[in-house]
Structure 1
Amino acid sequence: MLVLLLDAGHWFTYPHIDPVAIHIYKGFGINWYGLTYVMGAVLVYLQLQSKSSRARTGLSIEQAQEFIVYTMFGIIIGGRLFFLIADMLTPIDKGGHSLTYYISNPLDIIAIWTGGMAFHGGLIGGVIGAVLYLRAIKVNVWPVLDEAVLWLPVAILLTRIANFIKPELPGRVTDSPIGFLFPGFDGYRYPSQLFEGIGMVLIVLPLV
């Protein structure tokens, strides 16, 4: 049976899902990727504003709201900055852009609505934004971060699903039957976004 499955070619067809989750007006809308940021922020806020969480962290509801705002600013700035650095280090013939290009097109520096956020930059920026805010209001950093990271795996899971929908960040080329033919990429590739998403589920399950 296993041999028959392995010889059956590729098992899955890439589901062409509209990357824009909510269409607003003439090409403007909210894409799935942006929506995952909002959902992640809401989940963390709901955690921090709960009575039990506030008892552990010392945050008020208003401070929990401000914490989310500062952290999201850090995530957006850090994620975009790291993306721009990576983009400028990528050869132009491989899709990168030079510093001269961004100087000539300054709007593209902040054009996060077209995509272009780096996970590691967002993580670093978010931590910096969170810590700076907590230091400013003189609240112990660690209890708050302990509460906030409870929902980090869920936020990453949602983001990786959005990466799959877009599509972006596929894995290496493979002849495995679980490979997908992603639009804009050559050959069948591992759905690495889904692999990481499954990993996040495995992290969350013991905490439920």
Structure 2
Amino acid sequence: MKLPFYFETNITSGSAKNIGQLSESAKQKFIQDNRLDYEIFEYAKREIQRDAHKSGSVFANALNLVHVIQAEINQLENPYLHSSVAFGFDEAFLVKVHGVINRFDLAPINEYLRFAQGEARTFADMYDGFVDSVLDGVVSGWAVNLSRPEQSVRLEVRVGSEVIASGSTGEHRPDVASAGYPSAYTGFSIALPPDAPDEFHVAVAGSAERLHNAGVWRRGWHCV
């Protein structure tokens, strides 16, 4: 609808059966298994708070109006609440939704949209890389920041979440450039500490993003 409103679809009546209480260990495992989703959620909350602070009353006025209009939309008789499968949108219901929206002066929302669209966009860094070998206590491979290829990439060797060694790209890898990547200085060699455990993996520093072929390594061989 080009506006920040929603309505629920594909909703069935009834409730889930035999719902038990999750153990604390099960909850923690779920959080660990979905840690990236939690990180994205926390990042989104920080971005919203940043926008709210930066735009001041423009954001607050728009958000207040969104809440008011959404509450009115939620009062409509929603045909999807009674359907097991929604075959396309119900045109009559959409007309009602637009009717509710059009009763309001949308100037505060439009003002915020203009503000947001005028902001300079920051693009997330995207990485690619590969672990080639682990020989004589040294992890070697290549990595590149596809968003900013002129910058070196900080890397960490980890056992679980513990960082046991770190290093950066910068070694000459003409084979990587020949393969179509935007930099030839993407190679890295990271020395492992003498007491490093057998199992470790390689990831971009400060990130959960691992390099390709960077599952758990045991000295001299690789576990998928």
Classify the TM-score, shorter chain.
Answer: under 0.3
> Larger % of helix: which?
1
TM normalised by structure 2 equals 0.24
- Name the structure, 1 or 2, with higher relative contact order (CA <8 Å, separation 6+): 1
> Larger % of strand: which?
2
TM normalised by structure 1 equals 0.26
